[in-house]
Chains A and B, each alone.
Chain A
């Protein structure tokens, strides 16, 4: 009895997951576009953040700016690119028929989805870390030039400061959860145009609908369940009492959305013909 066969029979689940992850990683990194898209996501996030921070005009330093939040504005756009990567990781296989090969190689379908989540999540985590780091550095420099600095009573934008660190780490997690949400929805919907439409509608429509609802109770509830609005509470470092949820609760709302999408995607993948 060979060593290989023994390994296959004993740590089966472990090995299968490792192999599935390896396969997914190979697909993700060799598909033309993934690298460029992730680079674009990081670059757009940093550039838009820097533009937003650079456009703050506060001559007397008298305006109530949330330095962390404004320095991370680019995530509003960057998340859309992250969503493309996640959606195409699933939909791309359906459009080329590759999914049948994948499921033949790894018949346990939840394993495929878990492996995709692991690889896309890890890639997003790394991209998000770079994007957030660049955004915070740029924001710190630009805001200080506009008088948003400790000399004018603002907290310095440094990762050594607890709330700023929470905002930065939370934003990286936010991007990762957006990737998982997109992945789950894409597995459920299969077509890339529909999947990306649903993801962006979920993210961008809640705040717009909320803005025309004048009833404060409705307003608050819509904010509380909106994946983007609630999720981005993690970036708030000032005036936390005014938020309808704490920052981590807000990120939790997005995590619930992502978990729901992954569950729906996983179930449909499991019980539907590929």
Chain B
């Protein structure tokens, strides 16, 4: 009995490295005309729908004045920008003195009360206080502030008593540090102090005026030698969005905070002087701030009562458009790329090419990995090109139509551009993995679209699902990845409508993106297992 030597080809073994596989898959991809056309269609859809969104968003105001009752419409004004470049609300009642050099200012706050309107609608010149309900907002503020000037958006640092968040030190709109907890009252007053030394401002609080605690120290770069300082009061608009289905409705209106101060004193080189006062940022049409005529201050026996409306806080994107408004076409591009991603594998099964592929490269996992790399690279570049065209074009069209655009930093711009391209690439890989599992295009494409586009649709269009269900959808489904496009940050110290319908995602940008990546990784592992166990 002779041992039969197994057949060995005379030909030298070919190079079967991963690079060869990549080249093979890239050749397959670029030579299918339909897929290349599909990429172009994706770019066209992303750019075209971005332009459509820009064209269909007109924003104009027609401020009526006694001299011109029917003025021509103008572009919507952009809100003031703060020292860090973001949009801010900077409207409050300010009782102030110009103070030069270093020094400190101390007050005692004995109460913070308020009024609010539930029926919205601000009629300029009308005294509305009679129709308002007593009650203080959770972020109503009364305290002392040192501000670079009275220009809207100028740098500041402030110590304040709030409606239900205790004593806070806030500066330059976006920063917030907690001090003593609890409400201020005559029985339990709050002492507040701000000390200036050069550009550095330190805030202190105290329950008795004797024992002081430092709350925060901040550096306000470029603070002029003469600042405006003194007591202030502000109260953000009251707003309740009802959880109605079939159309959300919000009721609300302007509010007033009334702060009672005494023991006002100035130390250091700051002399006692006469207070001047005024409502900053009031009487702007459409802003939820009470008219200046109903804000004000009274002074008697060393005690001050300041009534103010408005807010000193970051403003969000409601006053105009956001950069992600130009990217609605992402969903259309995503559908095209997902279809290509699924077909990249299902077409091989349909034509039987998969058998040739596996004969040439028997290690199936590497084939799928090569496909994923090629697909991800191609779709990432396609997405990047499309987004790089769409954002400037969309912004231009939005501006032409009078929409101010929420300013973003270069880093945010990069995150949105690269993140959107990455989102498209990972979605295509998810489609490839599901296509491998199902081996059917229609099922794979539907599964991915139903997992990404549908949850977004259900969560973002108000009135389809209750708010809790909306947030839940954007935490667990791959649609969470669209958080990568959110350009407006949320702030704990602002009571705003932070819902998906208003453009705020429950997860942070990269956390949301990680949810999509986790789904894609899971599908990819399942696809690898199925590919090895199954006959081709």
Contacts and interface: CB of A to CB of B under 8 A. Distances in A.
A214 interface: yes
A267 interface: no
A196 B446 contact: yes
A169 to B, nearest CB: 19
Contact of B449 (A57, A200, A236, A238): A200
B285 interface: no
B137 interface: no
A126 interface: no
A52 B332 contact: no
B247 interface: yes
B442 A195 contact: yes
A211 interface: yes
Most chain B CB within a 10 A radius of its CB, from A63, A88, A212, A215: A212
A214 B322 CA distance: 12
A273 to B, nearest CB: 17
A208 B466 contact: no
Most chain B CB within a 10 A radius of its CB, from A62, A87, A214, A215: A214
Interface in A185-220: 191-197, 200-201, 204-205, 207-209, 211-215, 218-219
B57 A208 contact: no
A200 B442 CA distance: 11
B245 A69 contact: yes
Contacts of B460: 208, 211
B445 A77 contact: no
Interface residues of B, number: 51
B457 A207 contact: yes
Chain B contact surface mostly: helix
B328 A209 contact: yes
Contact of B457 (A52, A55, A197, A204): A204
A98 interface: no
B190 to A, nearest CB: 35
B456 interface: yes
B58 A80 contact: no
Contacts, number: 145
Given A197-B445, A200-B449, A64 B246 contact: yes
Contacts of A207: 457, 461
Interface string B444-459: 1110011001101110
Interface residues of A, number: 50
B244 A87 contact: no
B242 interface: yes
A52 B465 contact: yes
A103 interface: no
B331 A205 contact: yes
Contacts of A122: none
A201 B446 CA distance: 11
A76 interface: yes
B343 A193 contact: yes
Contacts of B282: none
Contact of B466 (A56, A77, A197, A218): A56
A215 B56 contact: yes
Contacts of A238: 246
Contacts of B249: 64
A193 B339 contact: yes
Contact of A87 (B242, B329, B403, B442): B442
A205 B58 contact: no
B57 A214 contact: yes
B321 interface: yes
Contacts of A62: 242
B59 A193 contact: no
A147 B25 CA distance: 58
Contacts of A95: 350
Interface string A224-260: 0000000000001011001000000000000000000
Interface string A48-78: 0001100111100011111001100100110
Contact of B454 (A57, A76, A194): A76
Contacts of A213: 52-53, 56-57
B443 A84 contact: yes
B332 A212 contact: no
Given A63-B244, A66-B245, A200-B446, A205 B332 contact: yes
A186 to B, nearest CB: 9
Given A84-B442, A200-B453, A239 B247 contact: yes
B466 A55 contact: yes
A197 B338 contact: yes
A48 to B, nearest CB: 9
Contacts of B58: 214-215
List the 8 closest pairs (A to B, CB-CB), nearest first. Answer: A193-B441, A213-B56, A218-B56, A197-B339, A64-B244, A66-B246, A214-B57, A192-B442
Interface of A: 51-52, 55-58, 62-66, 69-70, 73, 76-77, 80-81, 83-84, 87-88, 91, 95, 191-197, 200-201, 204-205, 207-209, 211-215, 218-219, 222, 236, 238-239, 242
28 contacts: A51-B469, A63-B243, A63-B244, A64-B244, A73-B458, A76-B457, A80-B446, A84-B446, A87-B442, A191-B343, A192-B442, A193-B339, A197-B336, A197-B449, A200-B335, A201-B332, A205-B331, A205-B332, A207-B461, A208-B456, A208-B457, A212-B53, A214-B56, A214-B58, A215-B56, A236-B246, A239-B246, A239-B247
